[in-house]
Amino acid sequence: MTDGRPWFRRKQFGVGFTPAGWPGWLITIAYVGIVIALDAALRAHHRVVEIAMIVVLTIGLFIIAAQHSERGAD
């Protein structure tokens, strides 16, 4: 899918990742779109379900970013 470059870069300060290539940006944009769609669809009656789904999506995004990030000396 890519040429071996990392999709995400570890943040220099704090915890997290930032997109470093087009696959990282694509995944990040898809994540934001899904979260917005969930909010629009579930806001009125299913707030707990919405929050649970967003937490699961966020953990999934974090795992993907960790697997496809630069490997540095920690």
The pLDDT of residue 58 is above 50: yes
User: Does a structural domain hold residue 31?
Assistant: yes
State the residue range of the domain holding 33: 8-67
Query: What is the C-alpha separation between 5 and 9, in angstroms, rounded?
Result: 10
Domain count, the chain: 1
User: Does a structural domain hold residue 3?
Assistant: no
pLDDT of the residue at 8: 94
User: Does a structural domain hold residue 72?
Assistant: no
Residue 30 contacts residue 11 (beta carbons within 8 Å): no
User: Does a structural domain hold residue 2?
Assistant: no
pLDDT of the residue at 73: 47
The pLDDT of residue 17 is above 50: yes
